[in-house]
Structure 1
Amino acid sequence: MRCGGRTVRLHELTAAPGVHVLLERSAVDPGPLGPGVHVHWLEGRPGRGGTVVRPDGWVGLRADPLEAAGLSAWLAAARGRP
């Protein structure tokens, strides 16, 4: 996959500790998501969807389209906030 102008592997993108948000090229910009959340824009993916990879490496959320409100709600629930 391409991200940041170069070809990378998924494991390289998700190597840093935290939650990783993988956004397709036309997805809505979610804005600031807080500490420990890394946003990656996938250049070769023309859709509006996104995938959230939990810190344990499992997919926590997949939506097409991925909307900022839904992503924020998922992150709040994952952090244990109402």
Structure 2
Amino acid sequence: MIVATTLVTLGLSLLVAGAPIVAVALMIYGGGIGLESIAKGPLPLALFGADGYATLMGKLAVPGLLVQAIAPFSLARC
């Protein structure tokens, strides 16, 4: 997860800085996002065990899902 976060941060930093090779910055960012999506499944399992794993994963998903649900309405222009 540390590697994933580092790659995402590096990729975004390169994009914001206006790196001359945007494709490289996007690949670094995409690699970080991919690693993050893979790591967020087994990491809670390793840290907290199998008991209540499904409930824990549901609780961890709630904030992101709420933001995704609210975003279209909060950013829409009337």
TM superposition score normalised by structure 2: 0.27
The structure with more strand, counted as a fraction of residues: 1
Tell me which structure has the larger Cα radius of gyration: 2
